Amino acid sequence: MPGEKLYEGKAKIIYATEDPDVLLTYFKDDATAFNAQKRGQILDKGKINCAISTHLFQLLEAQGVATHWLATPSDREMRVKALTILPLEVVVRNRAAGSLCRQTGLPLGHILAPPLVEFYYKNDDLGDPLLTPDRVRVMNLASPEQMDTLRRQALHINQILVPFFASCAITLVDFKLEFGLDRAGQILLADEISPDTCRLWDQSTDDETQRVMDKDRFRQDLGHIEQAYQRVLERVAAQSAKF
């Protein structure tokens, strides 16, 4: 049984456990978009995202990436290391989409070589604004050394995930990462990696609407959200079994 509820976010609930260095994450079916201005539910999203995140954390751990994942005791629960989360969202973009297209005029799908790494302030009240390195420094959100580590880690993770998703016939367009510090000050990958936090395009179709396999289906009212998430899980699980 979970212990005291420590935090409830838009997609997950964090509980204490008998071990102060271990937390229990519960994945919800709640869905939000546009800084929670749009709300809804996606059937079994919590189960699907928990399973996908488990597969991907295990993949990354096998490649030497330190994550907070410890175990997945049930289909909606993940035991994770207790971390002090850095208030930064690290976004890696392999192709132009979403806000990058709106803010720069780059066409949808434009290939970014090398990949673009961006930092956003994790603050709903301010709308999670894009930050420059100097703003991060002025706000004292992370040290220059930590920023360098976050960038290197994000690009390393991207180098692992891009070919893995390609083996699933999925294009990894972009994705958001969160990191935290353990008691020793080591930076570990945290949160989740799922269709909620990634843009994923099905390589089996060129149709811009049909290819979407992520939360953009919810954002843009494209329908068939549950089926898209389920297809991602099926492909990820099938490929993970080969490793």
Domain spans of the chain, in order of start: 5-81, 84-224
Q: How many CB atoms lie within 10 A of CB 190?
A: 21
pLDDT of residue 237: 98
Decide: pTM greater than 0.85.
Answer: yes
Q: Which pair of tokens denotes residue 126?
A: 């301010």
CATH class, domain 84-224, is alpha beta
Please say whether the structural domain 5-81 has been given the CATH code 3.30.200.20: yes
Distance from chain centroid for Cα 188: 14
pLDDT of residue 35: 73
pLDDT of residue 1: 62
Position of tokens 């699907």? 48
Do the beta carbons of residue 94 and residue 174 sit within 8 Å?
Answer: yes
| Local confidence pLDDT in tens for the 243 residues of the chain | 678 999 999 999 999 999 999 999 999 999 888 777 788 999 999 999 999 999 999 999 999 999 999 999 999 999 999 999 999 999 999 999 999 999 999 999 999 999 999 999 999 899 999 999 999 999 999 999 999 999 999 999 999 999 999 999 999 999 999 999 999 999 999 999 999 999 999 999 999 999 999 999 999 999 999 999 999 999 999 999 887
Position of tokens 């991907």? 56
Q: Measured between alpha carbons, how far is 135 from 139 in angstroms, rounded to an integer?
A: 6
pLDDT of residue 243: 74
What are the start-end ranges of the H helices in 168-224?
216-219
Do the beta carbons of residue 155 and residue 149 sit within 8 Å?
Answer: no
